[in-house]
Structure 1
Amino acid sequence: MHAMKVFATAIALVTAWCATAVHAGELEVLHFWDVGDDARAVNVLKSTLQRQGHTWKDFAVTADANGFPLFLLRSRVQSGNPPAAAQVKAPVIQQWAREGALANLDATARAGQWDAVLPRVVSDAMKYKGSYVAVPANIHRVNWLWINMRILKRANAQVPVTWDDFFAAAGAMKRAGYIAVTHGGQPWQDFLLFENVVLGVGGPEFYRKAFVALDPGALAGPVMEQALQTFRRIKPYTDVAAMGRNWNVAASRLANGEAGMQFMGDWAKPIFQTAQRRGSLEFACVPAPGTAKSYAYTVDSFALFKVNSPAKTRAQQDFAADLLAPGVQEEFNLVKGSIPVRQGVDLTKFDRCAKQSAAAFEAASRGGTLVPSISMALPPAVEDAMREAVSAYWHDDRITARATMQRLVAAARRP
């Protein structure tokens, strides 16, 4: 009898293994999360998928490679060999959906009640003609100012709320012998800083006119000129050696006590948290000057491409379902520095900045002051042209605000 039980158990295990093997598939994922805390966040997703018997294949590229990842993705899709998933922003999702390249996720979305658990601005961005074609991972707040509080206190300065406050604090830090603003002079970082300045100077309604509606009157008017002048005023408070510096290297200068402030999304927060745990940093997270009631967001998301095997399709659908499971949302976002995109996730384990971010997102949603980061709002060609114009203005003092505004208007007209 005992032998029969052993034999039956063995048969059951083999049957279960065969069932898993039949449905197990490979998920090749194009993403930018190849180092540091980003890589740790990816490992959360990998291990979740692997527990279901699937195989994760990295197609990792450098986030600062400008248009190269999208060019490489297009080459793969046109050759009939797309990755199963690709980390892209909302405008790119729409482009691929229009071309008929993306898989339909409606069955998975219905099972997971995505319409009920996702904020409307996010679910709309993941859909094409009413059907889900992509899955979101998180919400990052872009309009953060990070402050080394020990430097602020040594400089006898106050936490800034307005731009006048900011320049007073920056001046005090510089006089005290510190780099007031740590910055990496890469074009995307210049542009991110500029987004924050425009939102702080012009407010959410103006920001939407300029960077969502592409209103030429907003792009070349007096408020934009004021924003450009404010943007340039920040430069003397940055490190002259900032050109080409990666954002995480810039963040480490705040973490190690060399610099007082940084404008950066909350993907920088894990660096500061690590330094805080070591006892070498006391930091504050506050909205960028003038943006206390606004929330500029970006969403990391994965478009899922049509693949040619049932096993790969199963891996895709499992990946999409996994990503929005409450436990994965908690674990992934705790590592990533962002907040869960799924509403209702328990935030007990999250830090004060994340809780502040979640409350601010909800308040901005209700108050009409929620705005998309430019990468969430504009096609890549328009965003790239605007980024080049703003970065050139930052790095070359001979370029005038008026000339830059004309370049912004011209960029908005790109097809």
Structure 2
Amino acid sequence: MTARESNQAHTPASPYLTQPADAAGSPRARRAYTQDRPIGVRAIVVAACALAAFTASTAAQAAEVEVLHYWTSGGEAKSAQVLKQMLEKKGDTWKDFAVAGGGGENAMTALKTRVISGDPPAAAQIKGPAIQQWGDEGVLVSVDDVARADGWDKVLPTQISSIMKYKGQYVAAPVNVHRVNWLWINADALKKVNAQPPSTWDDFFKTADALQKAGIIPVAIGGQSWQEAETFETVALGVGGAAFYKKAFVDLDEATLKGPTMVKALETFKKIKPYTDKGQTGRDWNMATGMVISGKAAMQFMGDWAKGEFTVANKTPGQDYLCVPGPGSQGAYTFNVDSFAFFKVKNPDSAKGQKDLASLLMSPEFQEIFNLNKGSIPVRQGMDLAKFDDCAKKSAADFHSAQTKGTLVPSWAHDMVIKPAVEGAFYDVIGEFWNNDGETAQQAANKLAAASKTN
């Protein structure tokens, strides 16, 4: 995983083909512009039919399946290669369209350009509300026949299968489940202060005080908007619980967004800052994880992609490091799911490759290989997890428990529930509050309520 899992779905298009006058102004304006929904793409696609026909007629290989993705880091790149090999065994040709950087932003820009030109890839790595938005543009193709044949409805949680469908039919295939509300801890650091993993916020701050006195940075974080937003998301879940989280971040209830529980969550979030270091500005998430691995820092709020860094460093869960839910969020689970959506292409021979790819993405074999590399767990339910480590097994058990109890919630900070413009506005509110000591929690809460109405 790279900075990222914060992959944003941003698709400015007609009538937003030219940058608005304020897009170069505030961070909110820039982000809202780059992430707006793909309104008007349909008209441009129709206008570009001639170009698309030409492209199809000159395609080098009729059975070629072009796949746009941003799996460019170590474990992810390995998984992409495995998927390519599996697809080619079925007689299809994989055409790699890997776009690195920008937390997925660069890939989404490339996708928008290709769709506008009438020449989309056969499949593209997108997720959450963006799937529905592209469906509204009429550019996605159904793989429902594959889903029925392979029994996807039986092996996918409804909270996830519904995201993969457009008007009742599957148009995307999920590959994993990331848990976001993790707290990663250096085991030796806790031993030095004779502390246990904090399960409440009172425990957390007592432990942070002891770590700071011992000369250890209590919390590692990178000063990037998505990291601040993700940390706040976990804090809010731990302070308010799943019901509060749903009302605030799924329903976008105005009273809840500016109410007393949100104020308390913001105050708790801001209370963490004195326990971080001054060198956080611009720091990538994996560098913050490295601080925990080395013992320079003790804890980090981060999704389970952080586990890959510990694995590469030959660290053992339960021995060298601990993975525990964020304080107060033990009974809940915030999820982030990677998926591939399938686009209408002019080459009819690509249809077989698309269906083969959809089937492979949901196959037990690929689900195991990919998630072992990536640090996440299979989205396909009922799989044997014998090869997975203790953190993954706990994640799977907690996922099932949360699903049963109704405390399984989508990560708003990672594109899974709210539209990109609102998400970007939330990012800006949280970032400003984190960095502005003169702003009160109530002022920030009021801004969140206002930001929820961003178009």
TM (normalized to structure 1)?
Answer: 0.90
Partner of 2:416: 376
- Aligned counterpart for 1:353 among listed residues 369, 387, 391: 391
SS in 2 for 1:167: helix
1:5-61 deviation line (CA, Å, top 9, x unaligned)? xxxxxxxxxxxxxxxxx9973332222221122222323322222333333333333
Q: Does 1:409 align with 2:441?
A: no
Partner of 1:385: 425
1:64-101 deviation line (CA, Å, top 9, x unaligned)? 35755433322210110112222112100000011111
Partner of 1:183: 221
Partner of 2:293: 255
Q: 1:157·1:168 contact (CA, 8 Å) conserved in 2?
A: no
Q: Distance in 2 between matches of 1:174 and 1:91?
A: 41
| 1:96-107 equivalences in 2 (<5 Å) | 96-107=134-145
| 1:1-400 equivalences in 2 (<5 Å) | 25-62=63-100, 64-65=102-103, 67-277=105-315, 282-374=320-412, 375-400=415-440
**Structure 1 residue identity aligned to 2:198:** P
The Cα of 1:155 is off from its aligned counterpart by 2.1
**Structure 2 residue identity aligned to 1:265:** G
Q: Distance in 1 between matches of 2:104 and 2:148?
A: 35
The Cα of 1:241 is off from its aligned counterpart by 0.8
Q: Distance in 2 between matches of 1:226 and 1:316?
A: 48
Q: 1:276·1:282 contact (CA, 8 Å) conserved in 2?
A: no
Q: CA RMSD for the aligned pairs? A: 1.9
Question: Structure 1: which 5+ runs fail to align?
Answer: 1-21
Partner of 1:6: none
Larger radius of gyration: 1
The Cα of 1:400 is off from its aligned counterpart by 2.6
Q: 1:193·1:263 contact (CA, 8 Å) conserved in 2?
A: yes
Change (3 A) 1:139 1:335: same
The Cα of 1:340 is off from its aligned counterpart by 0.5
Change (3 A) 1:212 1:32: same
Q: Distance in 1 between matches of 2:402 and 2:101?
A: 29
SS in 2 for 1:125: helix
Q: Distance in 2 between matches of 1:248 and 1:94?
A: 31
Change (3 A) 1:204 1:77: same
Q: Distance in 2 between matches of 1:62 and 1:404?
A: 34
Question: Structure 2: which 5+ runs fail to align?
Answer: 1-59
Q: Distance in 2 between matches of 1:324 and 1:338?
A: 15
1:292-350 deviation line (CA, Å, top 9, x unaligned)? 00011111111111111133222211111001111111111111111111111110111
Change (3 A) 1:314 1:224: same
1:108-152 deviation line (CA, Å, top 9, x unaligned)? 111111111111111111001110000000011111001110111
1:203-248 deviation line (CA, Å, top 9, x unaligned)? 0000001000000111101111111111111111112111111111
Q: Distance in 1 between matches of 2:145 and 2:130?
A: 23
Q: Distance in 1 between matches of 2:102 and 2:440?
A: 27
Percentage identity across aligned positions?
A: 53
SS in 2 for 1:147: strand
SS in 1 for 2:161: helix
TM (normalized to structure 2)?
Answer: 0.83
Kindly tell me the number of residue pairs found equivalent between the two proteins: 393
SS in 2 for 1:183: coil
1:368-411 deviation line (CA, Å, top 9, x unaligned)? 11111112110111111111111121122223322322221122
Q: 2:63·2:350 contact (CA, 8 Å) conserved in 1?
A: yes
Q: Distance in 1 between matches of 2:276 and 2:260?
A: 26
